Amino acid sequence: MWYGAKVARASNPGETAVGADIVFLNAVLNWGTRVRLSDGSRLIESNPIHGYKRPLNKNPKRPVATYDRFLAVREKAEEVDPQRL
């Protein structure tokens, strides 16, 4: 990020964003438990968030296309990659 750049941030991150961060952090911490230092000790002894469940979005957005849009996309797809559907 550039010095002084303004970044728009959501006031409350959604459950999906929090869940993705937990998955990433869990992976990093698991890696840290496998890394050995020059003296043979581990970088970290254990993953403090092991077993923590990530939050699931209770109301995920699932857009639904109209039948007309489906037909238009299918027609265009046939032009791009004919598969004789």
Q: What is the pLDDT of residues 60-76, one digit of tens each?
A: 888 899 999 999 998 89
58, 19 contact by CB (below 8 A): no
Question: pLDDT tens across 31-56, in order?
Answer: 999 999 999 999 999 999 999 888 98
For residue 23, pLDDT beyond 90: yes
Q: 36: helix, coil or strand?
A: strand
As a three-state string, the secondary structure of 15-56 is HHHHHHHHHHHHHHHHHHHHCECCCCCECCCCCCCCCCCCCC
Domain-embedded: residue 85: no
For residue 79, pLDDT beyond 60: yes
pLDDT score of 85 = 61
Domain-embedded: residue 5: no
Range of the domain at 61: 15-80
pLDDT bracket for residue 8 (50, 70, 90):
confident
- Number of domains observed in the structure of the chain: 1
Report d(CA 61, CA 70) in Å as an integer: 19
14, 21 contact by CB (below 8 A): no
DSSP state for residue 52 in the 8-state scheme: P
For residue 83, pLDDT beyond 90: no
Domain-embedded: residue 7: no
